[in-house]
A and B are shown apart, each in its own frame.
Chain A
C-alpha cells in the first residue's frame, strides 16, 4: 500500500479522526464553565455511567480517607472521598444519606454530629442525618461555646448553636475587610498556577468572568469541528455521487 500523504492530507485526516473528541471537548467546556448555574453537581448519574472505563474503579466504595472523628464511647466516624462511614466494633457502616459525597470534616457538637461535605452541611440529630445547608463546604470546627462554624465556598463562614439555624459570621468578614491592602496576604502565583490560569482564562478575565474565555473558545471549537465535519461529509458524498454517475455513464455506453 502506497502512503504518500501531504501536509493537507495529514491535516484533513487528523482533523477528521479527531473531530468527534474535539466536539466533545468543545461542548463539555461550555457545561463546565456554567457548572454552578446549571447545578451540574446536584444531578446524580452514578447508576448510568458505570460502563465508562474511567469509572470502573470508582464504582467500588471509596476508601480515600479525608476526615475522622472518634467519640468518647469509642465509636468512630470516617469521612472519605465518596461517603461517610461509622465504625462500630470493627465494622464499617455507610451513611446512606451522604453516599458518594466527599466528606471533608466531621465535628462532634453537644447537639449532634456535623459533617462538612462537598454537597452541604449534614447534621446528625435525634431523627437521623439531614442536610442543614447546601453548598461546597470546606471544613467545620467546634467553638468553645458549643456552636459549630463551617466555611462554605463563596458564602463564607456560618455559625450554628443548634444545627438548625445557621447565621453568617459577619464580624470575621468585616474584620478582614478592614485590613489595609498592604496587610492582606497576596495569592501565591506559581508557574503551575499561571499555566492553569492562562488555560482557563482566569489570568485574563478573573475568576468571576473566566466563563467568557471558556464560552468563546468552546463555541468556536464546536463550530469549527461541526463545520469541518460537514464540509468533509459533503465532499465525500459529492465525490461518491460523481463516481457513481461516471460508472452509470460508462455502463450505458457499453
Chain B
C-alpha cells in the first residue's frame, strides 16, 4: 500500500516538474515572440 502511494506521489511530482518545465519553455517562447513583434512594430513606424 505504502509503495503504491509513494509511486503515485512520485508520478504527481514528476508531472508537476514537467508542467514547470513546460511553463518555463513557453515563457521563453513568449519572450521570443514578444521581441519579434517589437521588431516588426519598429519596421512599421
Residues in B neighbouring A233, C-beta threshold 8 A: 23-24, 26-27, 30
Judge whether A236 and B7 touch: CB under 8 Å. no
A125: min CB distance to chain B, Å: 27
Closest to A233 in B: B27
* Given A19-B20, A229-B23, A237 and B30 contact (CB-CB distance below 8 Å): yes
Q: Output the least CB separation between B31 and chain A (Å).
A: 5
CA distance A212 to B40 in the complex (A): 53
A27 and B16: CB pair below 8 A? yes
CA distance A41 to B16 in the complex (A): 22
B20 and A226 form a contact (CB under 8 A): yes
Q: Mark B8-45, 1 if CB is under 8 A from A, else 0.
A: 01100100110011011011101101100110110011
Q: Does residue A16 face the partner (Cβ distance < 8 Å to B)? A: yes
A39–B44 touching, CB < 8 Å: no
Kindly identify, within residues 113 to 145 of chain A, every residue whose CB is under 8 Å from any CB belonging to chain B.
none
A19→B37 contact, CB < 8 A: no
- Give the CA-CA distance A246 to B37 in the complex, in Å: 8
Expressed in whole angstroms, the Cα–Cα distance for A226 and B44 within the complex equals: 38
Number of interface residues of B (CB under 8 A): 27
CB distance from B2 to the nearest CB of A (A): 4
Q: Which of chain A's residues 220-241 have a Cβ closer than 8 Å to chain B?
A: 225-226, 229-230, 232-233, 236-237, 239-240
Q: Does the CB pair A232–B27 fall under 8 Å?
A: yes
A31-B9, A43-B7, A229-B24 known; A243-B2 Cβ under 8 A: no
* Closest chain A CB from B37 CB (angstroms): 4
B38→A243 contact, CB < 8 A:
yes
- Shortest 5 CB-CB distances between A and B: which pairs? A243-B37, A240-B34, A38-B6, A233-B27, A236-B30
**Known interface pairs A16-B27, A20-B17, A236-B28; 11 further A-B residue pairs with C-beta atoms within 8 A, sorted by A's residue number:** A19-B24, A20-B21, A23-B17, A38-B6, A43-B3, A229-B20, A230-B23, A236-B27, A237-B30, A244-B33, A244-B34
> Which residues of A does B touch, CB under 8 Å?
16, 19-20, 23-24, 27-28, 31, 37-40, 42-43, 225-226, 229-230, 232-233, 236-237, 239-240, 243-244, 246-247, 250-251
Partner-A contacts on B (CB < 8 A): 2-3, 5-7, 9-10, 13, 16-17, 20-21, 23-24, 26-28, 30-31, 33-34, 37-38, 40-41, 44-45
Q: List 16 interface pairs A-B (beta carbons < 8 Å), by A numbering.
A: A19-B20, A19-B24, A20-B20, A23-B17, A31-B9, A38-B5, A229-B23, A233-B23, A233-B26, A236-B27, A237-B27, A240-B31, A240-B34, A240-B37, A243-B38, A250-B44
